[in-house]
A = this chain, B = another copy of it.
Amino acid sequence: MSKSTVLLIGSGAVGTMAAYNLEAVLKTIPKVEEEGLSPFDYILVATKNTPDIPPTVADLVASAVTPGHTAILLLQNGLNIEKPLIQAFPNNPILSGVSLISATETKPGSILHDAPDDLIVGAFTNPSIPQGTSISSAERFVEMYSASGKVKCTYDADVGAVRWRKLIYNSSYNSICAITGMDTSRLRIAEHPIEEVIRPLMREIWTIARKAGHEIPEEVIQKMIDIDPLETYFKPSMLQDIEKGNYIELENIVGEPMREAERLGVPAPGLKMAYGLLRIMQWKTKERRGLVVLPSKEI
């Protein structure tokens, strides 16, 4: 296997695991053309994806991308994350990476990794280049990433199904934990949150996914409900972000699935409410960071 150059951007929980696996992280994003560097074969983007808060992922990676050459692998959650990248880089393969690790950044630089790494890679459809080019690029990355022997990395052609499947967990648990400040174990111990909030939300996502053509088995809902080990009191990423005062990835995790539902004519009232509430949480973070100016208070 020939050697590839990989640029990894983002060193939170997921990115650090990737770095450990690839044995390389850069601190700043290189300007390939300006600095006369050799083109990167891959850029692995493991940053948070918050299109509502600049800079966008496309802006972030731009200076490191060689048009027509570099494959951009988005190791990020949610739906339609490839759209702005395809628009910005119409001649580059855009790849999908869905991480099934449950890595947690307990404090900056300290990653708790309590489950086996498992990365599912596939190719998004970039209409300007042959799909075969994108698929080869994805397959080559899988080969290279698996070579370490430390991790399981699998190619899956059905990127949509992989992403919708993870959304069943993320749109429900991740949202509700972020809104209420509860971990997934407490929601299950209390029981009523599962039947009143989590399961109905998961069912909405599952229904939208079906309508979008992804036949995910119905049993996945129960499997996702029980997926975190009960004794870990796991806090999904958006709750971790809120506790750290960081912005949350609400647009791709909740906003885009909600918009898909609208496009497909599937009712998604729970998702709409979750979206509205998460936008309030995001606004609170903006206020905390001084991005909101309030009229003065009388009392």
Contact = CB atoms under 8 A, between A and B. Distances in A.
Nearest to A294: B189
A68 interface: no
Contact of A277 (B179, B189, B298): B179
If over half of A's interface residues share one DSSP class (helix, strand or loop), that class is named, otherwise mixed; here it is: helix
Interface string A280-299: 11011001000010111111
A294 B186 contact: yes
B232 A279 contact: no
A298 B229 contact: yes
Contact of A295 (B189, B196, B281): B189
A2 interface: no
A204 to B, nearest CB: 10
A20 interface: no
A176 B231 contact: no
Contacts of A270: 269, 273
Contact of A112 (B112, B230, B296, B299): B299
A38 interface: no
A197 interface: yes
A180 B179 contact: yes
A72 to B, nearest CB: 31
Size bracket of the A interface: 35 or more
Interface string A223-246: 000000111110000000000000
A166 interface: no
Quick one: copies of this chain in the complex? 2
A276 B196 contact: yes
A298 B197 contact: no
A193 B279 contact: yes
A263 interface: no
A292 B193 CA distance: 15
A180 B297 contact: no
A279 B231 contact: no
A19 interface: no
Nearest to A234: B299
A190 B280 contact: yes
A176 to B, nearest CB: 7
B179 A295 contact: no
A197 B277 contact: yes
Interface of A: 112, 114, 176, 179-182, 186-187, 189-190, 192-193, 196-197, 200, 229-233, 267, 269-270, 272-277, 279-281, 283-284, 287, 292, 294-299
6 contacts: A112-B299, A180-B280, A197-B280, A229-B298, A232-B299, A273-B274
Q: Which 6 A-B pairs have the closest CB atoms?
A: A269-B269, A196-B276, A231-B298, A197-B276, A273-B273, A190-B283
